[in-house]
Structure 1
Amino acid sequence: MNTLVAALVAAAAPQLNSDGIVQWGVKNIIPIILLFVGIGIIASARKGQMSQNALTVTNILLGCIVIAGAALFYGFADNIASFVFQS
């Protein structure tokens, strides 16, 4: 009886599709964040702080590279694992 109830509850549970949420965030939130970062860099460039701006831009680029690398490994983890651990 308990397994029947558990199966009915599992079948009635809502399914959450997060693909649309992720796509919306990539499309809308990330450009706004980059806009504020760019405005901050331009504002500090007007004050003559070019060395700090260069450091900020370098850190942003390194962060983007790390995120892209993580996404690459996440997307191709099965292929990379089968390539490295060939039997």
Structure 2
Amino acid sequence: MTSFVTLIVTAAPEINSDGIVAWGVRNVIPIILLVVGIGIIASSRKGQMSQNALTVTNVMLGCVIIAGAALFYGFAGDIAGFVFQKQ
């Protein structure tokens, strides 16, 4: 069974997702931030400043979490090598 799985894994095509990720960063993320910003401005016109502050805080925390995940994704090999370094 393991040789069958190994055969499938070795026969799988390599997918280069760099172009897809770059397109998403360039096009999708600014549109999402635009929609969030318009929503915050629209609700601030109604006088709901405390809810707007909470929304902005949540958006900023979400961005920090996404940046942290991207950092760990980009440097996962280096981090694992540092943590599990043999002496």
Pairwise TM-score range, normalised by the shorter structure: 0.7 to 0.9
Q: Match of 1:23, SS? A: helix
What percent identity do the matched residue pairs reach?
79
Q: What runs of 5+ residues in structure 2 fail to find an aligned partner? A: 1-6
The alignment of Structure 1 onto Structure 2 pairs a total of residues equal to: 77
Matched, 1:21 2:20: yes
- For 1:67, the equivalent position in structure 2 comes to 66
**Shift, 1:60, TM fit:** 0.4
> Structure 2-normalised TM-score?
0.79
> Structure 1-normalised TM-score?
0.79
Distance 1:16 1:77 in 2: 19
- For 2:76, the equivalent position in structure 1 comes to 77
**Shift, 1:46, TM fit:** 0.7
Judged with a 3 Å threshold, the aligned counterparts in structure 2 of structure 1 residues 77 and 17 are, in CA distance, closer, same or farther, namely closer
Judged with a 3 Å threshold, the aligned counterparts in structure 2 of structure 1 residues 84 and 17 are, in CA distance, closer, same or farther, namely closer
Q: Who wins on radius of gyration, i.e. which is larger?
A: 1
Distance 1:47 1:28 in 2: 30
Distance 1:82 1:70 in 2: 18
**Shift, 1:16, TM fit:** 4.2
Distance 1:18 1:81 in 2: 23
